[in-house]
Chains A and B, each alone.
Chain A
């Protein structure tokens, strides 16, 4: 099974988001970068599927050459090769993102049975790149997947809705976007790191069209102070907690 996982390099943020002076970007000078969270699950799923069904995992990241840092990280957990869809670093809108990924996939030329993405990126959160890519590739797409198994060329996808799971089945090839909770992503091992250094990373330059969603500025919303209710360590305090547990439905 040939699997493509599209990943994105995003800043590793803490509790507070600091903006650049012109207010158009996150100030990342003091921050590190990481994989957008759902995509860790996508890579893990791909590696597990290949462990089970054979095949290979190809990673595709769109962005600057620095994306190699995240690609190597995921090559270390078991992906086989990687592609950088190289851009000038400006932020594409979701349409341009899908177009850029498509351009790189076509330039690469290899066929894929399964294309995995995160359901939405941590930073932009457009919820649409996977769907646009599926349309462009002429493939079916299931999004928001939290359970995934493949039998006889059909992907059984589970989506969590409340306490239920909706099940979708699509024949491969298909595009599937996944989310946190699908699996527990493994951390890299040192032998994995060492192997990853020798795995191929190819680069395709892609052009980004003019955005149709033009970002003017970013705003940090006024803090809504999280009210902490302080309870006494006595029976009244315990009663208040039991009541709170009931309200959120974890205690009958």
Chain B
């Protein structure tokens, strides 16, 4: 039997949990799930192959409390003796499973992309942010592992499951760490390092005046302006805006590089951005190689077009 830890936040099941259920069915026909305090997702879990959904109950389990959840899972393990306990390789999945492993003094393999049951267990897990895979064996009577998000696609299962509640035995120490409050994003203003969107300019901007267009675009996209080293050297923008190995390293959702060829030291500071848009006259420039969208053309001609359309979209 494989026990899957469900990652639930305020009645919402993290989709990775469904992926883990799917993967578990391929390892063992008997898949059960455990969730702390919140039975609302039981049906969804059952629809993805959890034969039994165990709900840990305790007055203290009102919101996410990692150690308490782990303690409950450990108690369930004692009664169920599963062959493996799996969770999603999400922040919470990894965290609760690490507590479980610490309680049991057992090994935990995180971010696995594949698992083979046996003695020992064979796993493939991600290292270096997924840029490298590690093939390992895990020596344990029971496998504790988390599954890398999107390692498999979630597939529903025809079987229907049941819900079984159990009472977790928790002490104050288990409940000491839990969510006490939720707030919006930090109200510290948009700094370069934290900005969701960075609109950056390089030598191709040609001077300080055209940066006004970047200021406008950044404002529209809720971001901030960055620049390359040559721009600060030329005195067009302050050093605090410099992106790169020698300036600030950024990893925003969107990085717009305008007139930046992409010196290595600049790329080192922005290559982890989720989406990169590059506007440059040189289609062979290094920044173009790592861009999701490459606009081969003059920033001075193209930026006004982009600004106009973005403004229209924003207003509409």
Contact = CB atoms under 8 A, between A and B. Distances in A.
**Contact between A and B in the complex (any CB pair below 8 Å):** yes
Interface of A: 13, 15, 17, 26, 93-95, 120, 122-128, 131-132, 134-136, 140-144, 146-147, 158-161, 163-171, 180-181, 184, 212-221, 226-235, 237-242, 244-246, 248-252
Nearest to A98: B102
Q: Nearest 3 A-B pairs (CB), nearest first?
A: A233-B297, A128-B98, A127-B94
Interface in B121-174: 124, 126-140, 146, 173
Contacts of A131: 95, 98-99, 102
Interface stretch (B35-43, B205-213, B220-228): B220-228
A230 B102 contact: no
Given A132-B102, A228-B291, A213 B136 contact: yes
Contacts of B126: 125
Contact of A168 (B101, B130, B177, B306): B177
B253 A250 contact: yes
B16 interface: no
Nearest to A16: B131
Interface residues of B, number: 89
Given A94-B108, A125-B128, A230-B295, 7 more contacts: A93-B107, A164-B182, A218-B133, A233-B279, A242-B310, A246-B313, A250-B254
Interface stretch (B25-33, B48-56, B189-197): B189-197
B103 to A, nearest CB: 7
B176 A164 contact: no
B282 to A, nearest CB: 13
Contacts of A132: 98, 101-102
The B interface, classified by DSSP as helix, strand, loop or mixed, is mixed
Secondary structure call for the A interface = mixed
Contacts, number: 230
B132 A229 contact: no
Given A165-B185, A252-B314, A231 B294 contact: yes
Given A237-B302, A241-B306, A170 B138 contact: no
Interface in B98-121: 98-99, 101-103, 105-111, 120
Contacts of B78: none
